[in-house]
Structure formats: C-alpha cells, structure tokens
A and B are shown apart, each in its own frame.
Chain A
C-alpha cells in the first residue's frame, strides 16, 4: 500500500473578536490585546461575549445576508479570505473537485429561538413562522452557503463535534484529500453561538458562564479566580491541498497536517476525562510519527471552567513530561470560547510561530492556579522560542469528544 498523500495548508481566512485577518489576529495576540464586549442577550440581560466585526458586504449581497444566517456570513467571509490568501487560480479551477468541510458545535438554535420569539408577537400563530427557517437551520447550512456564494459544486457538509469541531473540520478535509475525493478543500470551524440565549442560559445554569466587571478579563483560563466560559462567535477556514499539487503551483505552504486523533471519553456528558485526553494526544503523536519532545507548542483548549482547565493540564503534564523545549499556551483568554470555531482559530493564531518563533501567552492570569501549573506554560508575556517545528492543537467538547491535531512546519523531517 502506497503512503497516503501529504496534506498542507496554503491559505487561511478568519474572523475573531480581535481580528479579521491572520495578521491582525496574530498582532493582537502578541500584543496581549483581548477584545470581549458586553451584549444584550435575550432573557439574560448584559453578558460578556466575543463579537466579530467583519464587513459581510465585501463578499455577499445584502439579500444573501438577509436570507442567510450569521454563521453563513462568517463562513463565506472566511472561505473567501482563505482563497485570496492561498493565491489559487480560482477561475480556472474545476469547482466540482472542491470540498467544503466545516466544524460546528451546534446549528439552528439561533434561528429557532428567533422564530419562537417572532411568533410570540403574533399569539404564537405558526402562520407567522418564516419559510426561511428550514434552509437556515439544516445542519449543512454554513457549508452550503459557502458553495452557493462561490459556485462550488463539489461536496459540502458540516461536522457536528461540539467544541472539538474546529479540529474535526480540518481532519475530515485532510482525509477527503487523501482519499482523492476532492483536489482542494475549505476546512475549519465556525460559530454564531452568541446569538442564542440558550447557550448562555445552559452554561449559566451549569455554573460555567464566565463573568468579570471588566469584560476583557472575563475569560481567564488557568487563573485561580476563573469562573467560566465567555461565549464568542467567529470562524477560521483553511485552504488545504495535497502537497504535490501545492508544490506544482508554487504555493506558499503555511504548515503540514502531520497527525490527528479524535476519541471519546465514554464517561460523562459534560465532565472531561484527562485519561482519554492524554490518550488522544498520544495517538495523534503516533500517527504523526513524533515523540512528545518533537512538539514545541501545545495550544490548549482550556475554557476557564474550574474543572476543565485542571483536567487538561493534568493530561498535558502527563504527555509532555520531560519536554523542556515544549511551550504551552491558550487563546481563549483573548477572544473567549468561539465554540465550533475555537480549535480552528486557536491553531491559526499560533501558525505564524513557525516563521517568527514567538509564542503568544495566555493572558488574564493574575494568580496561577497551582493545579494548572504546567511546565512551559507561557503566561502574560510572549516568549521567543529557539524553534517551533510542530504545534499540537487540543480541542475538546461535550459528550466526551476529544481531538488533537498536529501541524508541522513544512520542510521539517
């Protein structure tokens, strides 16, 4: 059996609460600039949340925006920006050989809540329920809106993977490229979750919704006084290609997908299991043919919940014991938890470290929780690493889904 094709990243498009391009996002991460707003959430009052401010009209007609969904607009923005970043000759590309694979934590809650509110203004008469509801809420909506906007006729679907979805989208796309199902893939994760009160209320009643008088400090993974998740919207979509195709067109290669694993805790709906998380990281390393010391940066999933951060730190400590060249960081302290987009965005913010060697810190740590002490944890100030050849990106979610994705610098053995 011949080896599977190698898969590389040749473009990135994103929108995060603190940046609408990788350059802007990266600059703010290195400068320690968080951006969390306070928004009105239906039935919930003011809540901290990460809000994106990209200009949807750059790539969509106003009617498209009106008829589609917020996450559809996020997806189109990210895909279009990824294409532009990749330098791919779009007009001459066979679009039946392009796939769109987007991770989502949830989809449809926003529109369903909106319509329930809408008909409540009309005595709950369902004849006022919009006919746009079904195309807006089908689970493939974000990916489907991308295909319609860009004239892509290859496969599209979303991957529902809770908050592991950003990694899952990339993994699915890499597999489809290796199988030869497509020649080019748009892959990543997206989220519109700040527009559904149900997500806020659910976390609130679970005792897991973060707060702070200063919204910019509300998300504080690893801090002793952390008190939960800040919900955010966002997206990151990558252009993935087989290495041979990328080289043939002289593409700039941002990184190579080296290994991955998705596994399941099979223990609890919401409480994480560090044994399975550690196993997930080890299996990803095995697939990549790497040892833990080959990874120079671990991008943690930690969401600033009391238990979740401790459990992940336990797993990371165990897998990366005796790895003095491995740094550990976190991105949610800047942008909150971008749900389905989290894993994809957090990887994106770290990718430039292959080139500049800087590790952005996790911020908002006023007093490190002793249970979150991890060797190599970069806190509050960036660190210049001797080298960054590989990043392991953790992304975990409810129902015990774990994902670890390893991306390595292209050209490193």
Chain B
C-alpha cells in the first residue's frame, strides 16, 4: 500500500458519499472542504467507510488529519501498513 493507493481509497469513498462531485481534478495538497461540497456528516461517512471497508479506526481527535488527500495519505499509511503486517 502506497500513499497514492491511499489517496485512491479516500477518493473512492468520496465518490460514493458525494456522487455529485467532480473528482477528476482534486488537488491533493488543498483541504477537501475548500474544493468539494463536503460537510461534517460527510467526514463522518469517510471515517465509517474506512472502518467498514478497511478495518481502519480514526479516533475523533485525529479527524483533522483527514483534511486533504495528502494529509490522509500521511496519516493513514502507517495504519494500512500495520493492518497489512498483521
């Protein structure tokens, strides 16, 4: 699992929860809320889908780490690696 893989995982989740959004030109370094119409419930959906589909837990204190695709990749990579190493 690479950071690019994780960005795709997050984008796939966003495609499901925000199906009206054009995700073809999302900038990885820019906050997702600044370029997409996402609200707090949508971020809870991202957390839920990471839990259901990938067994990844994101504690509430760490929600801020999901701000952009880059920060998602940085934060989630060790979690995915730990999961794969089990």
Residue of A with least CB distance to B57 = A127
Contact residues in B for A128 (Cβ distance below 8 Å) = 48, 51-52
Within 8 A of A (CB), among B22-71: 37, 41, 44-45, 48, 51-52
Docked CA distance A66–B45 (Å): 11
Cβ of B44 and Cβ of A63 under 8 Å apart?
no
Which residues of A in the span 258-308 have a Cβ within 8 Å of any Cβ on B? none
Q: What interface size band does chain B fall in? A: 10 to 19
| A127-B20 CB under 8 A given contacts A67-B41, A132-B41 | no
Most A Cβ at <10 Å: residue of B18, B20, B44: B20
B85 within 8 A of A: no
Tell whether, in the assembled complex, residue B48 and residue A63 are in contact, meaning their CB atoms are under 8 Å apart: no
In the bound complex, residues from chain B placing their C-beta under 8 Å from that of A126 are: none
Query: A131, B20: Cβ atoms under 8 Å?
Result: no
A90 close to chain B: CB less than 8 A: no
Q: Is the pair B51, A127 in contact by a Cβ cutoff of 8 Å? A: yes
Residue numbers in B under 8 Å from A66 (CB-CB):
17, 19
Q: Decide if A61 is an interface residue (CB 8 Å cutoff).
A: yes
Question: Considering the chains assembled together, what is the distance between the CA atoms of A14 and B27 in angstroms?
Answer: 43
Which of chain A's residues have a CB closer than 8 A to the CB of B52?
Answer: 122, 128
Does any Cβ of B come within 8 Å of A117's Cβ?
no
B19 and A63 contact, CB distance less than 8 A: yes
Q: How far is the CB of A384 from chain B (nearest CB, A)?
A: 49
Also in contact, A63 and B18, with CB within 8 A (given A131-B41, A132-B41): yes
Q: Identify which of B18, B19, B48 contacts A131 (C-beta below 8 A).
A: B48
Alpha-carbon distance between A62 and B44 when the two chains are bound, in angstroms: 18
B20–A61 CB distance below 8 A: yes
| A63 adjacent to B51 (CB under 8 Å) | no
Among residues of A, the one whose C-beta sits closest to the C-beta of B21 is A63
Q: In the complex, A191 Cα to B3 Cα: how many Å?
A: 46
A96 within 8 A of B: no
A130 touches B (CB below 8 Å): yes
Q: For the complex, what is the distance from the CA of A249 to the CA of B37, rounded to whole Å?
A: 38
- Residues of A39-72 at the interface with B, using a CB-CB cut-off of 8 Å, are 61-63, 66-67
A127 to B59, CA, bound (A): 12
In whole angstroms, what is the CA distance A67 to B17 when docked? 8
Task: Find chain B residues with CB under 8 A from A67 CB.
Answer: 41
Smallest CB–CB gap between A89 and chain B, Å? 28
B20 and A63 within 8 A (CB): yes
Identity of the chain B residue whose Cβ is nearest the Cβ of A121 in the assembled complex: B52
B-contact bits for A124-136, CB 8 A (1 contact / 0 none):
0001101110000
Report chain A residues within 8 Å CB of B44: 131
Q: Given A67-B41, A131-B41, A132-B41, verify A62-B51 contact (CB < 8 Å).
A: no
Q: A62–B19 contact, CB under 8 A? A: yes
Shortest distance between the CB of A215 and any CB in chain B (Å): 32
Q: Give me the 5 closest cross-chain CB pairs, A-B, nearest first.
A: A62-B19, A61-B20, A131-B44, A62-B20, A63-B20
A–B pairs, 15, beta carbons within 8 Å: A61-B20, A62-B20, A63-B19, A63-B20, A66-B17, A66-B19, A122-B52, A128-B48, A128-B51, A128-B52, A130-B48, A131-B41, A131-B45, A131-B48, A132-B41
